[in-house]
Structures are given as structure tokens and as C-alpha cells.
Amino acid sequence: MKRDFKNWGLFRIFLSYFRPHMGLFALDMVCALMISLVDLAFPYASRLCLYELIPGNLYGAFFAVVSVILLAYILRALLQFVVIYQGHSFGILVEADIREDLFTHLQTLPVSFFDKTRTGHLMSQLTAELFDITELAHHGPEDLFISTVTVVGAIAILFTVQWRLALVMLILIPLFLAVATLNRKRLRDTSRAVKRVTASINADIESSLSGMRTAKAFANEQAEHDRFDAANDRFRGSKKAQYRSMGVFQSSLELFTSIMPVVVIAYGGWLIMRGLMDYRDLITFTLYTSTFINPIRKLANLSEMLVNGTAGLSRFVDLMRVEPELSDKPDAVELKDVRGRIDVNDVSFSYERDETRVLRHVSLHVKPGETVAVVGPSGGGKTTLCSLIPRFYDVDRGSIQVDGVDVRDVTQSSLRRSIGIVQQDVFLFADTIMNNIRYGRPDASDTEVAEAAKRAEIYEDIMAMPEGFDTFVGERGVLLSGGQKQRISIARIFLKDPPVLILDEATSALDSVTEAKIQHAFDELSRGRTTLIIAHRLSTVRAADRILVIRDGVITEQGTHRELLALGGDYANLYNTQNLHM
């Protein structure tokens, strides 16, 4: 179902998730209605027994009514099971649909969004906050329905018994609802604050756990503990504010539920003494007062649930309303049969509009199958240039073309399927080696994965491990060496088999011996592909067909290794500097 998150209100968006599961929702509501009817029937049946069956010694009728009431409560227990089981199942289905939409939407957002958003915040919204929405989806309509039917039905019945006392009870209920409404805003605000702080502490914890090795290496456990304590204090303070608001609300509820029986007994006793009411009717009122208490408590819980669920729903909708900065054009075409020609035409780019441009009027033309190295000082724009080719960001000016087609005119998925990227910071999933290599092409067979491992020269290392390809690599591949992780990433690219290859500082984190071992795999990987190599170590790019030097966002030189050395410019200075330090 297509939802218009931009123009629809929160309530309409929320209800739209009910539609695919209306069968379960209807079953839940019908069972809830029958439970309410049973609760309403018991005091009235008791009144019948007190007025007619017991005074008339009608044993058969009395025990028949008692038996019916007993069967009704057995049925009520079965209905309660359906409400709890199927109602929660309905809530889980709604939660799963919301989580799927949220995750799908996150996948449409550009790299720049994740550059600026902490993972812990997103994790909080994908997990804890969706639980509050689930509780609202299940218990919200159900509790509101049961409470409304019970309270309205009880008041209607009581008016037929003694309208004066029923009128007093009818006045008390709006007073309670007015108090609940006054407290709702404060409770909602504190709940939203708690969710913001919870997301923040989740982000801090995620960061601290991910960086535990670094913290230990610098003996900074105390600094991390202090940072955690500060976040925990913020959480504690926001929670206390929430519970303070909750305490005011709950205490006002307890006051109301305690006063109601007292008012019924006091005013009912006065009516009995005036001869306007029978004591049996007072017993009936007292039973209905007890029946009132549970729905009133449900309404109180509903108010808290509504506050928490609405706060979570609001943050969910806010995230869904984040527009992707990069999106496929309506008429975007699939990029097929790529030969590998790349044209960068007068490109300028900055990460933020008000920032200094990272690239300025850059033009580059790469022939199919050509290997081009991009070198230069840090911050010069090398990685930025190569990030624009797979369209992780859009250019501010100019254009980038693959095989003569502007990358903005093709689908992002087809563009990125045609490009293989090996980075310095290799990301491996907490999974087996087999599944990490297969990530390059999820439908690849075990034989194809093994062949890719051989071509990446990691096969023998894998087979030497106790579990072979089923070896678990640990979080981010921590159980493997840097060289092994790098070769697994190369195996992924062999499996993907793209026509365009980008090597972004792929060996800069490795020692010289390991780099030499991997270089052969890179040479094999580059054969027959258009290859862009970003490198600090100039010794790794000497054999490139062409070398570009980028400084301050501008291509200052280009040519072969020999040509640039003879030129005696930026490249020669970089090369000589590195050789002096070897």
C-alpha cells in the first residue's frame, strides 16, 4: 500500500497499517465487545436474583442463572485468550510492516544522511520505539472500545435503576477525564524527551562498544565510563521527569477510583434513608462501581500508552518524511552492457552548499579497460571524485557519464551493479566467510564462491581454518587479519565481476609484505576492467596507464609515471619524499 507520509496526518498514517490485517483486528474487537457484555450482565443478573429469585425461593431459576453466569465467565476467559493472543499478533504484524517501511526508506537515503546520523539513533527507532507503537496499535483501540462500551452501558443500565445516583456518577466521569486531559500534554512532552535521550544513550553505547579496542589501547576506560555516566544521568533525569508526570496522573486516578465507591455509598445511603431507593439497588450500584474501576484504569493506561505511542509514531513519521537527496528520475533507464568508459565533465562539488568546494572544474576521460591512478595530498579530493562516479553524491556542476550516459539518467542500482569498490576500511558482516564473499553476488553457488576465493588468493588461508568457509569472522571481521579481510573483499568483487573497478586506498593499512602478496590479486582483478586507483603509496601505481595528481580539488598533473617524474612537479615531489623516508 502506498502511503503519503508528506501530506497525511499521524492518525491516518497509523490507521493505514491496520488495513492489511483487518480480519484480526475485527476478531479482536468482537471478542472485546463480548467481554464487555459479560461484565455488564453480571451486576444486572445479581439484581434479578436479589429482587425476585432469592425472595421467591426459586431454587431452580436461581441456580440456572448462576450456571449461565459461570458459563459466561468460562466463555469470557476463552475470549480473553483470543484477545491477548490474536490482539498481540495483530500488533506484531503492524510493527513488522512499519519496520519494513522504515528500513526500506532508510535504504533510499543517500550516503550523506548516514554521514550525519548516528547508528544508535536509528537502532532505537527500529526497535524500542516501534514497540510503543505496537502496544498502541493493539491495546489502544481495544482498551478504548472496551472502556467506552462498559462505561456507557453501565451508565445506561444504572439510569433505569436509580437516575439520581446514576447522574452523580455521570458527573464524576467527565471530571476525571478533564484531569486526565490536563496531565496528558505534560506526560507527552516528558515521554518525547525520554525517547530522544534513550536514542542518544543507545548511540553512545553503540559507539563505546564498537570502540572498545581503541579505549583499551589508550587505557581510556575511565573516560568512556565518565561519558557513559553523563549519558546515563541525562536518561535518569528525563525518566524521573516522566515518572513525576505519571505519578500525578496515577494518583489522580487512584483518588477518583477511591472516591467513587464512597460517593455511591454516601448518596445511595441518603436516598435509602429518604425512602427513594432500595438497598438491593445500592448493591447493584456498588457492583457496577467495581465494573467501572477496570475500564477507568484502562483509560489511564491508554493515556500513557497514547503518549508513548504517539511520540514514537511522530519520530517514525518525521524520519519517513526525510526526502532522499538522491533519487532515480521517473524515466531513469537500466545501465546495461557496460564497456567502462568514464567521462568527468567540468565537475565541481561540495558536501554542504555553504562549504568550500572540494572539487573545482575537474575534467577526466577514462577509456574502457584503462587503469588510472589518482594521487595527491590528503584532503585534495581523490576519494570524493571516486565517490561521485557510483553517485553516492550528486555533482553541484558539470556531469559524470558512464559509456556516454549521465549517471543521473540511469537507475542507481544498475549503476552500482556495474562498479566494484574495494576500500581501505573493509566492512565484513558478523557472519561466515562464505556469506561475506557471497555478498558480492547473493545467488552465487558454493563452487563460484570458492573460485572467487582462489582468484583473490585467500582460498588456502580459508581451508587452513578449522571451519573452512563456515568460519565466523566476528564483528566487522575482527577475528581475521587485515590482509585476510582485504582479500575477502577482493573475492567479493571477483564474484560480482563488474566492468568498472575503484580501489580506494585498498592497501594503505597493510604492511609492505602483505601488500606485495595482495598486489598480485589486484593485478588479476584489474585485468580487462576500467580501474581507478586511489593511493598514497606511489610505488603501487607506477604501472598504471595514467596517473592524475589532485591538489586542492584541481587536477594539477596527469601522465605516466616516467612522464610525471620528468616533469618535476607535484608528483615528482611526492615520489621523492616517499623514497627519502623508505
Under 8 Å between Cβ of 434 and 472: no
Closest C-alpha among 318, 325, 320 to residue 97: 320
Specify the higher pLDDT residue, 478 or 548.
Answer: 548
- The tens digit of pLDDT for each residue in 309-350 reads 887 788 888 888 888 777 888 888 888 888 889 999 998 988
Give the residue range(s) of CATH 1.20.1560.10 domains in the chain: 10-320
pLDDT in the model for residue 582? 46
Sheet strands side by side (includes 546-551): 419-423, 500-504, 530-534, 371-375, 546-551, 554-559
Q: Give the pLDDT mean for 206-219.
A: 63
pLDDT above 60 for 509: no
Q: Selecting from 2.60.40.10, 3.30.450.30, 3.40.50.2300, 1.20.1560.10, what CATH number does the domain 10-320 have?
A: 1.20.1560.10
- The tens digit of pLDDT for each residue in 170-182 reads 887 777 767 766 7
Q: How many CB atoms lie within 10 A of CB 456?
A: 26
- The tens digit of pLDDT for each residue in 5-49 reads 888 888 888 888 888 899 889 998 899 889 888 888 888 777 777
- The tens digit of pLDDT for each residue in 381-431 reads 888 888 888 888 888 899 999 998 998 999 888 888 888 888 777 778 878
Specify the higher pLDDT residue, 448 or 295.
Answer: 448
pLDDT above 90 for 490: no
- Scored b (16 or more CB within 10 A) or e, 191-228 reads bbbbbbbbbbbbbbebebeeeeeebeeeeeeeebeeee
Q: Give the pLDDT mean for 147-171.
A: 83
CATH number of 330-418+500-510+529-582: 3.40.50.300
- The tens digit of pLDDT for each residue in 532-541 reads 888 777 777 7
| pTM for the whole structure | 0.68
pLDDT above 70 for 294: yes
Kindly give the residue spans of alpha helices, DSSP state H, lying in 17-127.
22-48, 59-108, 111-116, 119-126
Closest C-alpha among 312, 182, 195, 320 to residue 252: 182
User: CA 13 to CA 97: how far, in whole Å?
Assistant: 12
Yes or no: domain 424-497 corresponds to CATH 2.40.50.140: no
pLDDT above 60 for 581: no
pLDDT in the model for residue 149? 85
Lowest mean pLDDT across 112-126, 229-243, 253-267? 112-126
Give the residue range(s) of CATH 3.40.50.300 domains in the chain: 330-418+500-510+529-582, 424-497
pLDDT above 60 for 580: no
- The gap between the terminal CA atoms of the chain, to the nearest Å, is 62
pLDDT in the model for residue 69? 84
- Cell numbers 545501465 correspond to 335
Specify the higher pLDDT residue, 182 or 365.
Answer: 365
User: CA 221 to CA 224: how far, in whole Å?
Assistant: 5
Q: Give the pLDDT mean for 150-161.
A: 83
